[in-house]
């Protein structure tokens, strides 16, 4: 195997294991030593790829979280079709797709927002960027729905986008308190009612 390819695989291993550890145990309690134990790599391998844990944290946010949220929550918003149906299916299908493990641990982005966004300005900026890109994708779809007379033209697209993101992230956090999906089912019912209210 080429050295460059081997180096890239090592970097990906560190990134993947770090994401998993941050998600399951929290960012602050996950030390470089714990990451190295999980990867079975030396500290030298870690510091060859990342200057410190802060740099690794930013890489996890930009390379793992951003990709995850783009694929699950943003890309579907740019698909053709009825804007309201797309809104409904994107949020509901995503909720239904989560494993028991993901329901138990909540949203990895939301967890990081709650744990470290007030701890370091660089994390705040990186996490805010994801939220704002998601918000822009929603505004794009809502505006399209208005132009196609599917969504009420009098509503604020930005207000709806902020509400949808906040409610979704909130239910991901609240679900961690329960050992069943009843609370998710109530959220889905509420979401359906809300979307019916913004119909044209």
Domain shared by 42 and 123, yes or no? no
For position 1, what pLDDT does the model report? 62
* Whether 83 and 147 share a structural domain: yes
For the chain, 200 residues long, the average pLDDT of each consecutive 10-residue run is: 82 95 96 94 90 95 96 97 97 95 96 90 96 98 98 98 98 96 97 96
**23 and 83 part of one domain:** no
Residues 94 and 188 in one domain: yes
Residues 119 and 91 in one domain: yes
3 in a domain, yes or no? yes
Whether 55 is in a domain gets the answer no
Residues of the domain holding 16: 1-50
Check residue 36 and give its pLDDT. 93
Tell me, yes or no, whether 72 lies in a domain: yes
* pTM beyond 0.75: yes
Number of domains present in the structure of the chain: 2
Q: How far apart are the first and last CA of the chain?
A: 58
Q: Do residue 85 and residue 155 come from a single domain?
A: yes
Mark out the alpha helices in the chain (DSSP H runs): 3-25, 32-39, 43-49, 53-59, 66-69, 83-97, 100-105, 108-116, 121-147, 157-175, 182-197
Give the angle subtended at the CA of 82 by the CAs of 153 and 133, to the nearest 5°.
75
pLDDT of 142-151, one tens digit each? 999 999 999 9
- CA dist., res. 175 & res. 22, Å (int): 19
């Amino acid at each position: 195997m080429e050295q460059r390819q081997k180096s890239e695989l090592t970097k990906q291993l560190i990134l993947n294991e770090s994401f998993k550890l941050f998600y399951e145990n929290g960012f602050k309690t996950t030390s470089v030593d714990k990451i190295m134990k999980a990867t079975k790599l030396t500290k030298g391998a870690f510091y060859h790829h990342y200057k410190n844990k802060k740099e690794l944290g930013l890489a996890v946010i930009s390379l793992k979280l951003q990709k995850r949220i783009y694929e699950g929550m943003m890309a579907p918003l740019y698909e053709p079709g009825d804007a309201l149906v797309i809104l409904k299916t994107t949020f509901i299908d995503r909720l239904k797709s989560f494993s028991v493990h993901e329901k138990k641990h909540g949203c990895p982005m939301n967890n990081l927002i709650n744990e470290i966004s007030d701890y370091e300005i660089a994390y705040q900026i990186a996490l805010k960027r994801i939220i704002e890109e998601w918000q822009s994708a929603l505004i794009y779809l809502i505006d399209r729905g208005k132009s196609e007379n599917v969504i009420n033209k009098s509503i604020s697209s930005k207000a709806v986008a902020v509400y949808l993101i906040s409610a979704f992230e909130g239910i991901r956090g609240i679900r961690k308190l329960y050992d069943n999906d009843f609370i998710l089912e109530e959220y889905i019912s509420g979401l359906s009612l809300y979307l019916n209210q913004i119909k044209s």
